Structure 1
Amino acid sequence: MTWALLLSLLYLIGCLGIAWRWRRRHPQSNAPSPLLISYASQSGQAERLAREAASYLQVHGQPARLLSLDQVDAQVLDDSRQALLVLSTYGDGEAPDNAARFARQLLGRNVALSHLDVGVLGLGDRHYPHFCRFAQQVEQWLRHNGAQPLFTPLWADQLDPATLQQWSQQLAKLAGDKQVPPTDAPLRPVHLAERQLLNPGSPGAPAYRIELQADALPSWQAGDVLELRPQVPTAQVAAGLQQLGLAPDTLVEGLALAEQLAHRQLPTDAGAWQALRGLDADALLAHLPPLPLRTYSLASLPASGRLELLVRLVTLADGQPGLGSGWLCQHAPLGAAMQVRLRANPAFHHPPTATPLILIGAGTGLAGLLAHLRTRQPGAADTWLLFGERSPEHDRWYSDALQQALQDGRLQHLDCAFTRAEPAQYVQDLLSLHSERLRAWLARGAALYVCGRLEGMGQGVEQRLIDLLGASTVDDLRTSGRYRRDLY
């Protein structure tokens, strides 16, 4: 009898211990548990949407825990019951830099996630072959490990308004709010103040310094970007209206139809135009989606009072200029009204003032680097700029300003590479040429900032850094925030 009582007591103590440990891990509370909101973001779009979601839910009484995807590990997922993931895809279907560690350490592993309800918003561009591939990989991995969907995954093509509206509706449902939150910040008016050709005579495509001005602008900092809505040239709109037999001055919601169509995606062939015949002005506008915004690195700082961009004129396969670059570089007259908004890009913000800084870029990528150079103070920390373009005779962009920066102490080293020189050099070749300086600067804690095109320059710089420093060192620099990229 005594032994039976003792065994019963031991069993009871064991059960109480298990229950106590479970309650420590899953505390009882009347307050809702924090909802995990995580983002994988390269240019700031996914991070902005995630931050806005967290703020909205918290205002409506739903605690939220906001983390970059690299801050999410198996323990974070185990502690969460609901999650929202906003995931960009970068480059050739890759994870953004602040999700690379998650991709290496968790994707492909078996992690028990049957307790987790998750909603995924993927951001991508269907012009690229691997649309939303990283976001889709994460979503498939979550399902494979037992996570349940809060809603059908959303895949946004160039932040298309219809998909973002669905995202907002899901946020409202989670918050118990009958009013759907706005999907985007409003655009503000600016006008084209100046346009200067930077490379007359260059074998490369024309590149322009563009300055926009407004009565009042919000503040920004080096690394932030400008979103601009391009316009269809007036002649193209007029030709389309003529095909449809509609009057350009027809008013729709107080604006002329021609003005409205200048901001819409117009058909590109006669058959598509023919399919629109017979629609009235309202139905036509409902059928044609708005033009997606174009994103540009900012070269200027708020103290200048202007938004300064570097834009290369793109020529399409049919010989026509690209829509965004054609509008800014060719079609828009000086003084033309434009619609823009500033967007924070925290992944490319300036390092601490005392940090030595290595700036690497080519072509119009110089814009983002100029903003960082203009942030530097003489004597605070060393700065080294490596820049690549085509012709040494015609492509020494901003030469006077860069020489002045060398003289006043904001810039310690300026090295240029030209692909049409003898011998031909690319900007990554400068890293090999000055490899001892590179290692010495990194040993002093320097940060590496790269801006420009991903294809060619960005990939070439990354591979050369791996060749010179080793993949693990480059990964450590990325993880610590000392290797940052703004590539397009």
Structure 2
Amino acid sequence: MFRWIHFLLGLPPAAVLIVTAVSGATLSLVPAADRATVPTISRGTSVATLAEAVAARHRAVTKIVHRPTGAVAATYVDGDVSGVEIVDPATGESLGPFHVSEATRIVTNLHRAFLAGDAGRIAAAVAALVMFVLAVTGLQMLARRQGGRWALLRPVRGTPAQRWHAELGRLAALGLILSSLTGLWMSADTFDLLPAREAAVASTVASGGTPAPVGSLEALRSVDVADLDALTFPDPTDRADVYTLRTLKGEWSIDPATGRILSFVSATNLDHVGRTVVMLHTGRGAWAIGLVLGLSAGCVPVFAITGAATWWKRRSARAQIPDNLPARSADTVILVGSEGNTTWSFAATLHAALTRAGHKVHTAAMNALSPVHGHADRLLILTATAGDGAAPAAARHFMARLAAVGASPQVAVLGFGDRTFPQFCRFAQDVSDALDRKGWPRLMPLTCIDRQSAQAFAQWGRDLADALGHGREFVLEHAAPAPKTATLELVSREDYGVASGAPIAILRFVPARDLEIGELPPFEAGDLVGILPPSTTMARFYSLASSSGDRVLEVCVRLRQGGVCSTFLHTLPVGGRVRAFIRTNPHFRPAMGKAPLILIGAGTGIGPLAGFVRSNRARRPIHLYWGGRSPNSGYLYEHELAKHLAERRLTTLRTAFSRQPGGGYVQDHIAADAALVRELICQGGHVLVCGRRDMAEAVKRVLDGVVQPLGLDVATLSSRGLYVEDVY
């Protein structure tokens, strides 16, 4: 729902919102410019003294106003000449005429009313309301996408347009909300929609005596210029007229002959709120706030461009399903739950493979579930999870619709997610549980795929082929849209573990064309490089052990039995070339700051961890726990880690070699160092784990016990962003 609201209120009226925002951002510069040119008002000068000095220079003064810009302006009449001048608040001397540039008038009118009078003011109010809804729904969507409100500040993943939209959005959202709400208040005040204020006493009449010199009036002598809002002078031709003095406290009527206070109306809470609202919205009297709100407004054109780009990409990314038969004639129904349309491409691959195998297939969104789907022989559900375990956009109504389906086809659920999020494939699990409660027979158990792994999807396809009685000709070869690749040349390699039968290679590449990293986008240790073996379109991803500043692209690769890409890389000679591309992985990076890091890995998982240590130029405390097989042939980065220890880029190093007598595993050292680990966690320590899934699970179990005395567990640390992992 939030997405549709955000889209409908964002893209169609984008031009109107851009005009409102850009004109507001332009006006936000005016208070800052005024602040640099008007004199500062210091306490010590009374209103009476100021008024006397101004009145001495003119035949008649009608008003002295402390303007929101900070300037003090006097309106005067000298015979047939009238005007407004800026005066020195300390001496009353003229500092020159007051005027507002025509450009500022036009931009102000454009911002407040689109140059269209009352109709334009109504349109401006509607634009403010739309901006408020967009900011709120944008934050809600980002929270869901990031995995909950507590994860709003985590690095944003996605396409460049998505990242720009989200990163700027969370920076500007509060400013846009404040601007929108204050703009709505001012619009309501313009159209008299706010509660009526207490009116000043209009019938106050002066004594009619000869006016005394303004500088002698005690009521004005007791008020400092710094507290002045406005002083209105009496009409010199009307002996019954009075001085009207307005300050933050309220409004006084003063007899010009006696100086006696005739009436006083105290400022209401509504007056104070209105004054604050105007200050916040315009920046008048608070130029720094004005600049912040102006910067927020200046982001709106970027939001429009990146939002449109994201919408178009999502729209074009939804896979077309050829040979999609009607549901009533299908023996197999594929239902898709997708947030960003990527799951649809996997469904299209599955649909095509089943059709080739002779099945009659119908594919639809999970929201389209109806009783007719239940009459198929089997129901295959492919679903992502949105944010903190929620249903994706295409599956929001699935659970409600499920109750109306009475038949019981065979079912299989395939979840898509990211293991770095605490609620990995949570919605797929919820769907699986709901189907179990209905008693529908299982074609296959629930399977979850991490980060759209084509390899894992292919394995699920082989399991599906076995369940359906198909041979090995049933293959799910899912090819994501081909990324732009760079050709890399292998410039050095280090081989380990050959003697122990577990070969691992550290490979270092540079772009082949000119031996400069410039062909690739910037990358950091912990990001991923996708490498495409010859004659394939299916990339294999490896965690990077280097960053762009290292001038090489470095990975650790274990030779896997039957692994196409690992075999290719292990046989690649120096000078050999590969096609590769970068996929950012901002979630798996050390948190900013000086808090200690606890790095835990095994095998090739040391790659990004070694990269984190290498880039630790600030010498923040880093404690590395790493496990390998043998110190003789499998000690990766041995010499470099020793150097980092000497340079204090690495604080402590604990190694565990499982094939060495008494060596144990990395989790054993975590348990042995429980007191140290607890102390580091108390200091805000950030835990990063990289390596095989079984190792990570063992570390979790031990770490749960280690932090239990602190009233914590790994799930809590993860929810706070203090425990992250990159496992395979």
Report the Cα offset of residue 336 of structure 1. Answer: 2.3
Report the Cα offset of residue 469 of structure 1. Answer: 1.7
Match of 2:692 among 440, 453, 463: 453
Q: How far apart, in 1, do the equivalents of 2:541 and 2:454 lie?
A: 12
Q: How far apart, in 2, do the equivalents of 1:136 and 1:98 lie?
A: 10
Q: How far apart, in 2, do the equivalents of 1:409 and 1:298 lie?
A: 22
What residue number does 1:136 align with? Answer: 428
Q: Secondary structure at the match of 1:438?
A: helix
Q: 1:402 to 1:142 in 2, by over 3 A?
A: same
What residue number does 1:12 align with? Answer: none
TM-score if structure 2 supplies the norm length? 0.39
| Contact map agreement 1:195 1:329 (CA 8 A) in 2 | no
Work out whether 1:206 is the aligned partner of 2:206: no
Per-residue deviation, residues 373-413 of structure 1 (Å, max 9, x unmatched): 1121254x211111101113222221111111111111111
1:75-90 correspondence to structure 2 within 5 Å:
84=339
| Contact map agreement 1:228 1:293 (CA 8 A) in 2 | yes
Q: 1:299 to 1:345 in 2, by over 3 A?
A: same
What residue number does 1:415 align with? Answer: 654
Report the Cα offset of residue 133 of structure 1. Answer: 5.5
Q: How far apart, in 2, do the equivalents of 1:443 and 1:30 lie?
A: 42
1:159-174 correspondence to structure 2 within 5 Å:
none
Q: Secondary structure at the match of 2:523?
A: coil
Q: Taking every aligned residue pair, what percent have the same amino acid on both sides?
A: 26
Q: 1:313 to 1:224 in 2, by over 3 A?
A: same
One-letter amino acid matched to 1:403: A
Q: How far apart, in 2, do the equivalents of 1:209 and 1:327 lie?
A: 14
Q: How far apart, in 1, do the equivalents of 2:701 and 2:565 lie?
A: 31
Q: 1:314 to 1:302 in 2, by over 3 A?
A: same
What residue number does 1:285 align with? Answer: none
Q: Secondary structure at the match of 1:309?
A: strand
One-letter amino acid matched to 2:716: D
| Contact map agreement 1:87 1:135 (CA 8 A) in 2 | no
Work out whether 1:225 is the aligned partner of 2:528: yes
What residue number does 2:485 align with? Answer: 187
What residue number does 1:326 align with? Answer: 567
Work out whether 1:374 is the aligned partner of 2:374: no
Q: 1:475 to 1:418 in 2, by over 3 A?
A: same
Report the Cα offset of residue 475 of structure 1. Answer: 1.9
Q: 1:474 to 1:64 in 2, by over 3 A?
A: same
One-letter amino acid matched to 2:494: Q
Match of 2:561 among 315, 318, 323: 315
Q: How far apart, in 1, do the equivalents of 2:431 and 2:622 lie?
A: 41
Per-residue deviation, residues 238-289 of structure 1 (Å, max 9, x unmatched): xxxxxxxxxxxxxxxxxxxxxxxx22xxxxxxxxxxxxxxxxxxxxxxxxxx
Match of 2:550 among 304, 320, 337: 304
| Contact map agreement 1:449 1:483 (CA 8 A) in 2 | yes
One-letter amino acid matched to 1:48: G
Report the Cα offset of residue 474 of structure 1. Answer: 1.8
One-letter amino acid matched to 1:302: S
Q: How far apart, in 2, do the equivalents of 1:30 and 1:448 lie?
A: 39
Report the Cα offset of residue 482 of structure 1. Answer: 1.0
Report the Cα offset of residue 205 of structure 1. Answer: 0.7
Q: How far apart, in 1, do the equivalents of 2:131 and 2:632 lie?
A: 71
1:250-329 correspondence to structure 2 within 5 Å:
262-263=535-536, 290=537, 292-316=538-562, 322-329=563-570
Per-residue deviation, residues 164-186 of structure 1 (Å, max 9, x unmatched): xxxxxxxxxxxxxxxxxx95641
Report the Cα offset of residue 124 of structure 1. Answer: 6.7
One-letter amino acid matched to 2:554: E
Q: 1:354 to 1:222 in 2, by over 3 A?
A: same
| Contact map agreement 2:691 2:726 (CA 8 A) in 1 | yes
Highest RCO, 1 vs 2 (Cα 8 Å, sep ≥ 6): 1
Instruction: Could you tell me which runs of 5 or more consecutive residues in structure 2 were left unpaired when the two chains were aligned.
Output: 1-127, 148-153, 166-301, 312-337, 344-382, 401-413, 419-423, 436-448, 456-479
| Contact map agreement 2:498 2:633 (CA 8 A) in 1 | yes
Report the Cα offset of residue 230 of structure 1. Answer: 1.6
Match of 1:466 among 701, 704, 727: 704
Q: How far apart, in 2, do the equivalents of 1:48 and 1:64 lie?
A: 10
Work out whether 1:358 is the aligned partner of 2:598: yes
Q: How far apart, in 2, do the equivalents of 1:209 and 1:196 lie?
A: 5
Q: How far apart, in 2, do the equivalents of 1:189 and 1:135 lie?
A: 39
Q: Secondary structure at the match of 1:346?
A: coil
What residue number does 2:474 align with? Answer: none
Q: How far apart, in 1, do the equivalents of 2:507 and 2:528 lie?
A: 14
Q: How far apart, in 2, do the equivalents of 1:187 and 1:423 lie?
A: 46
Q: How far apart, in 1, do the equivalents of 2:306 and 2:618 lie?
A: 47
One-letter amino acid matched to 1:190: L
Q: How far apart, in 1, do the equivalents of 2:341 and 2:683 lie?
A: 35
One-letter amino acid matched to 1:481: G
Q: 1:195 to 1:347 in 2, by over 3 A?
A: same
Report the Cα offset of residue 333 of structure 1. Answer: 3.2
Aligned Cα root-mean-square deviation (Å) = 4.6
1:363-442 correspondence to structure 2 within 5 Å:
363-379=603-619, 381-442=620-681
Matched positions, count: 327
Q: Secondary structure at the match of 2:610?
A: helix
Report the Cα offset of residue 196 of structure 1. Answer: 1.8
Q: Secondary structure at the match of 1:348?
A: coil
Report the Cα offset of residue 441 of structure 1. Answer: 1.1
Q: Secondary structure at the match of 2:633?
A: coil
Q: How far apart, in 1, do the equivalents of 2:576 and 2:482 lie?
A: 24
Q: 1:47 to 1:304 in 2, by over 3 A?
A: closer
TM-score if structure 1 supplies the norm length? 0.57
Match of 2:585 among 340, 345, 361: 345
One-letter amino acid matched to 1:337: R
> Which entry has the higher C-alpha Rg, 1 or 2?
2
One-letter amino acid matched to 1:377: R
Q: 1:209 to 1:472 in 2, by over 3 A?
A: same
